[in-house]
Structure formats: structure tokens, C-alpha cells
Amino acid sequence: MTRDDFRIISDLASRRTGIDLGEHKAQMVYTRLSRRLRHLGLTSFRDYVRLLERDEDGGETAVLVNALTTNLTKFFRSETHFDHLRDVVIPDCRERIRRGQSRRIRIWSTACSTGEEPYSIAISILRALGENIAGTNVRVLATDIDTDMLERASAGVYGDKWNGRLPGLEAGGGGLRWTLTGRRHQSAQVEE
């Protein structure tokens, strides 16, 4: 990959997503896109750049973006954020509900990857409000620029990723069972 190829790719990524790919990211870009070039049967990054320049429907550009994003996530990943949610945000919401000011809670989780963090937010709210959740309209909007990750997040299937990360949900069953219901506008549901 030449410097010009890297510049064109990094400029495209920046215009499309805001991702800043400085020169220090050239090796990462080379590694991640080499697989794509092999898959397409291309022999040079120049050929790939030409393909991107002719990408009228944006399909290959979306594949490029998906290849360049880093998808680091897990349930309850950032302890300080969940401490703030528990100690500040949820008590404020609970107090507004108690005073009859608002029964709406809206949270936007950006860069949600496969969805563990927004589901962790929903779980935290459901657990904290308990029976006070009745009549409360809770929405957690989860967004990401990686369309492959959003597809996985929409499925809401995590298998063994749950084990050991959620108190009350250990291997072998027991505790609460968290499931995803709905289709387009997903909603979390909890069952005893």
C-alpha cells in the first residue's frame, strides 16, 4: 500500500465516518484491508482504491468502514460509567418519577458494537427501578457505524458472554433470564 493509497483510504474513512487514521495507523489499515483484497481477488491497493472511487451504492465503502472499526465491548465494561449511572442518573430518574415530573427515560449509547453496553444500561435501569418500572417509558438508543456489529446487536444473542458478567445469571441457570423481543425497534424484556 503506497502512501497515496493510504491517504485516499484515510480521507474516505474520515469523510464517511469521522474516523481519524493518522500515519501511525497505516499498518493496521494494511492488515485489515489485505483480507478484503484477497477476498475480492485484487492484487493491489491501487485497484481497491479504484473500486472505492466507483462505489456508487456505498456497499464497498460500508465494508471498508466495517473493516476499519475496532469493536471492543463487553457487559458492564466501564465500571466508572455504570457507577455514575447507578449513583447519579438512576436516582435522578427515580426522583422525577416519584414527583410525577416524567416517566420517560432516554439514553443514547454510541459506538455500541455488538450491544453488550446498551443492554447493560437497560439491565441496570430495570434492576434499579424494580417495580417502579411499571408505566415508565424507557428507551436505550444504540448506534454504531459498523453495520455488521449492529446486525449482531439486533440479534441479541450472546451465549457464554453472559456467564460470570451478570450477578444472578451464572452458568447452569438460575436468577433472571434476559431476552430480546421485537424486531426493528428492539426492546429488552426480563423474565423471572
Residues identified as active-site: 32, 144
Burial class (CB in 10 A: 0-12, 13-18, 19+), 127: middle
Q: What angle do CA 77, 78, 80 make, to 5 degrees?
A: 150
